Amino acid sequence: MGTPGGKDRAGALLALLLAELGEARRGEEVARGANLSRSHAARLFRERFGESPAAFRRRLTLERAAWTLRHTAGSVTQIALEAGFDSLEGFTRAFARAYGTSPSLYRRAGLRSHLLPAPSNIHFQPLGAAMRTEDHMDLLDHLLAFDEAFVRQALAHARTLPDRALDTPLGEAQPLDFEAPDRTLRDLLDKLVFNKEVWVAAVRGGDLPPESRDRTPDGLEARLNVAFPAFRALAREVQAEGRWRQTFVDALCEPPEVFPYGGMLAHVLTVDAHRRHLLSAWLWRLGVRLDADPMLFGALPTPPLGQVVPAEERA
């Protein structure tokens, strides 16, 4: 059992490791910084945080590299060197062991978290301090971020499909009662973007998006880049100002109707969850696995998403 003094020394080790991510420091040097022997330091740290100092630093270094891959345009080689690796090959091997995919494929995938499993729940976050994941989750942000990541990855796969696959009627038995039957993959992708466009327009006093809107994958992405941030800003305003029960007039309806902000947000999240699951099911039939469940998004690494599924595994 650790003593109070041992707890303080373990905390000192934690501070040293967090301050020196990516630096080529030997274990003896880190332990000496806390006035401990290497073996004593390793034992105290494992007792307190559930993993060795070396494993802890390696994990956070990889989490920082993964976050950097996702949020910056730096080259993989540059990120590998900043992570303290001597070579791109060594970084790629370590990254693939941790995340199940190469750094380049991870960067292109839209739904993978940068967080790795950790017994201490201490993770890298961009400010450089330790983050305990259970204290840093907003449900609305979580759902909106997953929705955007899913649609971006779905569009990436749509670019690889021929037009006939995007435009073949799906033959649904029970479509939403306010949408036409026999929707297509292109319809689903369009509506996942259009739903944000139309409600932002309704609240902000804009115009209804035209029937002739661009529904190509490139056009949908361009619309997404405008609509999703605008809808997210609207949702955060409602949340910050506590306007869940406050109503607004939707002048785009004929005749105009009155809706509560909270009901509108719940409607968008619910309807688009239905669309995501439907889209995911049909992409599966085309050989693409894209997980429509937000449960593990931003918490733990999930199996590679958007991967091609062998025909024999589809049923």
Question: Taking 70 as the threshold, does the pLDDT of residue 114 lie above it?
Answer: yes
pLDDT at 35: 55
Q: Mean of the per-residue pLDDT values for the chain? A: 79
Q: Select the more confidently predicted residue: 94 or 32.
A: 94
Residue 34 has a pLDDT of 52
What per-residue confidence (pLDDT) applies to 134? 45
**139-313 belongs to CATH 1.50.10.10:** no
Specify the pLDDT at position 310: 42
CB 88 within 8 A of CB 77: yes
Q: What does the domain layout of the chain look like in residue ranges?
A: 4-135, 139-313
pLDDT the model gives residue 6: 45
Round to whole Å and give the CA distance between 11 and 17: 10
The single-letter DSSP state of residue 216 is S
Name the nearest CA neighbour of 158 among 215, 227, 225: 215
Q: Do domains 4-135 and 139-313 have the same CATH topology?
A: no
Specify the CATH class of 4-135 in words: mainly alpha
SS3 249: strand
pLDDT at residue 63 greater than cutoff 50:
yes
Q: State yes or no: pLDDT of 57 exceeds 80.
A: yes
At residue 116 the predicted structure's pLDDT band, cuts being 50, 70 and 90, is: confident
Lowest mean pLDDT among 25-29, 138-142, 219-223, 250-254: 25-29
Nearest residue to 61 via CA among 32, 90, 31: 90
Tell me the percentage of the chain whose pLDDT exceeds 70: 72
User: Is the predicted pLDDT of residue 136 greater than 60, yes or no?
Assistant: no
Q: Is the pLDDT of residue 135 over 70?
A: no
Pairwise pLDDT comparison (273 vs 107), residue with the higher score: 273
Give me the mean pLDDT over the 216-233 stretch: 93
Query: Does the pLDDT of residue 81 top 50, yes or no?
Result: yes
Of 39-48, 171-180, 185-194, 304-313, the range with the lowest mean pLDDT is 304-313
pLDDT at 104: 87
What is the reported pLDDT for 119?
Answer: 83
**Beta carbons of 289 and 306 less than 8 angstroms apart:** yes
Give the DSSP H/E element, type plus range, for residue 25. none
Is residue 46 pLDDT above 60, yes or no? yes
Higher pLDDT, 101 or 260: 260
- pLDDT in the model for residue 198: 95
Q: Exposed (0-12), middle (13-18) or buried (19+): which is 86, by Cβ within 10 Å?
A: exposed
Burial of 211 (0-12, 13-18, 19+ CB in 10 A): exposed
Q: Which amino acid is at 56?
A: F
